[in-house]
């Protein structure tokens, strides 16, 4: 089932801005592409989500401990993990439109297919037609904003064909794909692009060093010059972490020994990660700065399959627990050729986004790859000794081994997007006179809702605000995030809190002064119950704990 509107982008993004969930970063300067700021309600929602994860992964388990590591780590960490060499995407430029894209995600037409170049408008089509004529000496036919005449001949060749002619006037080398926006097959070579953000640490004048190096090595060819500059920059280079996971491997021994942990046990961490993503898309789904919630669970070699299934199911239940539509989540097992270099099996927990099922969390069996690599490159033994077990190789008592690792790796900001989509509802409601209107309501799980209770005096006089403020203070003293709100009519205030996802509205009215009662309105059913003022904290606490 889905409640997500077709034009979700406009609706959800505009609600996020209107109600203070998410703003475009640096908006007053025109905004920074794919960077977002979490506003007053967004920060609460994100913290509630991450705190629920922490509670379920760390506070409610004896076998998992937490850490909070530096975002900048020793660059050897990234060499060992393979991120420095392998964490890169093949990038290509379209020679005509200058569009830059990832080769591995580009469309791959079939042999024999026409390769039309789809321009944005006639003017652009004329411009591209001329560029292609000047550069490749062929005259493509223009129909409106489409350029025609190219066809895929075989897996290595495409050609230009005049009208009905079967013989190409000219052939070109085909790279296996076309540009995603315009469909152009005129492409540059692939270049590797590292997704990690690099910076320099310490009081180094890198530009000065580079200038000096270039002056002293003017005779070098451009490849050697580039290599030399790269080595120079590498000396003081540091990287913003692209995943939180590596700190748990690097701190494995410190954590295990200080907390006397016995295998199986896990180390959890949540926080910011950074990737210089080429394709940032779907609002906060894929951005350059995002938050992760990851746990490395260290297990005995041979038990990884059983633990992988355990964590896959555990994590799936956790996501579904806070959702209105648990049926919108599913697992997908990775094919062998899809697995990361360190994994022997992996499941993605996927959500049904408006563009189809896509990843929300990966639960991977990471083998002993990372601990072994860090042990090899640091010279520190990252192993575990189990006195109670027999060494399967020697048959003697006591077994020293490198643990295998199961890793549930979730996106916190992506999870927030999922729950925003799951919560978004439009309902037709009638007022007292029978007039219909659309109610937008965010049916966020009460544990995730940014504001738990709004306290609303019906009017701004007759002592009602004073009673309301007293209730707010009591809610604050009970650690319940509440909000006093007296602006606009009561109907408008209910709608405002429906959009904010506030599960309970407490209204103080004329009757409150007569018999010390208030009403509690339930966000989803819109039903109101009248309760004793003195019971209000208990009632809200009970509702929140039962939810
Ligand atoms: N340590 C393993 C790891 O980082 P991943 O699949 O690359 O695995 C885990 O990332 C999760 O982090 C993803 O399932 C996704 O939810 C989130 N994530 C990854 N890249 C992201 C990005 N650019 N923007 C937002 N979330 C991202």
Residue 392 burial (CB count, 10 A): 10
Identify the residue whose C-alpha is closest to ligand 1 atom 17: 411
pLDDT at 342: 85
- Ligand 1: which of 50, 196, 290, 315 to mutate, judged by most atoms within 8 Å of the beta carbon? 290
Sign of CA pseudo-dihedral 439, 444, 449, 452: positive
pLDDT at 269: 98
Over residues 475-526, the pLDDT tens digits come to 999 999 999 999 999 999 999 999 999 999 999 999 999 999 999 999 999 9
Of 507, 366, 354, the residue nearest 422 (C-alpha): 354
Identify the residue whose C-alpha is closest to ligand 1 atom 6: 362
242 C-alpha to ligand 1 centroid (Å): 9
Atom in ligand 1 nearest the alpha carbon of residue 242: 4
User: What is the Cα–Cα distance from 355 to 418, expressed in whole angstroms?
Assistant: 13
Over residues 310-344, the pLDDT tens digits come to 999 999 999 999 999 999 999 999 998 788 878 99
Atom in ligand 1 nearest the alpha carbon of residue 359: 14
Over residues 129-183, the pLDDT tens digits come to 999 999 999 999 999 999 999 999 999 999 999 987 889 999 999 999 999 989 9
Interacting residues of 99 by C-beta distance below 8 A, sequence separation 6+ = 93, 179, 180, 181, 182, 184
**DSSP letter assigned to residue 81:** H
User: What is the Cα–Cα distance from 263 to 393, expressed in whole angstroms?
Assistant: 19
Residues in contact with ligand 1 (CB, 6 Å cut-off)? 243, 245, 275, 277, 286-287, 290, 292, 294, 359-362, 407, 409-411, 413-414
Single pTM value for the model: 0.85
User: What is the Cα–Cα distance from 539 to 273, expressed in whole angstroms?
Assistant: 40
Does residue 93 have a pLDDT over 90?
A: no
């Amino acid at each position: 089932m889905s409640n997500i509107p077709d034009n979700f982008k406009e609706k959800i993004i505009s609600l996020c801005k209107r109600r203070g969930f998410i703003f475009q970063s640096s908006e007053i300067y025109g905004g920074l592409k794919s960077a977002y700021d979490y506003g007053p309600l967004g920060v609460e929602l994100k913290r509630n989500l991450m705190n629920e994860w922490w509670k379920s992964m760390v506070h409610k388990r004896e076998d998992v401990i937490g850490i909070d590591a530096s975002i900048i780590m020793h660059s050897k960490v990234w060499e060992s993990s393979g991120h420095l060499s392998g964490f890169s995407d093949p990038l290509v430029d379209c020679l005509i439109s200058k569009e830059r894209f990832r080769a591995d995600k580009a469309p791959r037409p079939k042999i024999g297919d026409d390769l039309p170049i789809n321009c944005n408008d006639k003017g652009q089509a004329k411009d591209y037609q001329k560029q292609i004529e000047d550069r490749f000496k062929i005259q493509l036919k223009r129909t409106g904003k489409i350029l025609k005449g190219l066809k895929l001949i075989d897996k290595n060749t495409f050609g230009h064909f005049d009208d009905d002619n079967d013989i190409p006037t000219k052939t070109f080398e085909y790279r296996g794909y076309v540009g995603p926006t315009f469909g152009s097959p005129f492409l540059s070579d692939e270049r590797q692009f590292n997704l990690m953000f690099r910076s320099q640490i310490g009081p180094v004048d890198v530009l000065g060093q580079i200038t000096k190096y270039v002056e002293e090595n003017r005779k070098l060819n451009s490849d050697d010059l580039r290599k030399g500059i790269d080595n120079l920059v590498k000396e003081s280079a540091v990287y913003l972490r692209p995943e939180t996971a590596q700190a748990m491997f690097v701190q494995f021994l410190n954590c295990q020994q200080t907390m006397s942990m016995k295998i199986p046990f896990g180390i959890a961490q949540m926080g910011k990660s950074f990737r210089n993503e080429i394709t940032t898309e779907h609002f906060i789904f894929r951005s350059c700065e995002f938050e992760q919630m990851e746990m490395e669970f260290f297990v005995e070699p041979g038990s990884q399959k059983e633990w992988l299934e355990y964590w896959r199911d555990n994590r799936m239940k956790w996501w579904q627990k806070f959702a209105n539509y648990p049926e919108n989540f599913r697992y997908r097992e990775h094919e062998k050729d899809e697995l990361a270099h360190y994994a022997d099996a992996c499941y993605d927990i996927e959500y049904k986004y408006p563009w189809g099922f896509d990843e929300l969390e990966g639960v991977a069996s990471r083998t002993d790859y990372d601990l072994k690599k860090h042990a090899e490159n640091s010279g520190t033994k990252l192993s575990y000794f189990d006195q109670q077990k027999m060494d399967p190789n020697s048959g003697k008592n006591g077994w020293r081994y490198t643990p295998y690792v199961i890793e549930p790796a979730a996106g916190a900001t992506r999870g927030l997007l999922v729950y925003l989509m799951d919560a978004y509802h439009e309902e037709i409601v009638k007022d007292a006179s029978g007039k219909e209107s659309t109610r937008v309501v965010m049916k966020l799980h009460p544990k995730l809702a940014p504001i738990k209770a709004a306290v609303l005096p019906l009017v701004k006089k007759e002592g009602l605000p004073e009673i309301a403020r007293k209730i707010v203070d009591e809610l604050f003293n009970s650690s319940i995030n509440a909000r006093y709100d007296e602006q606009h009519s009561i109907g408008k205030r209910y709608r405002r809190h429906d959009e904010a996802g506030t599960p309970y509205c407490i209204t103080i009215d004329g009757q409150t002064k007569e018999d010390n009662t208030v009403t509690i309105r339930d966000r989803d059913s819109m039903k109101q119950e009248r309760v004793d003022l003195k019971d209000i904290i208990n009632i809200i606490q009970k509702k929140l704990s039962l939810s």
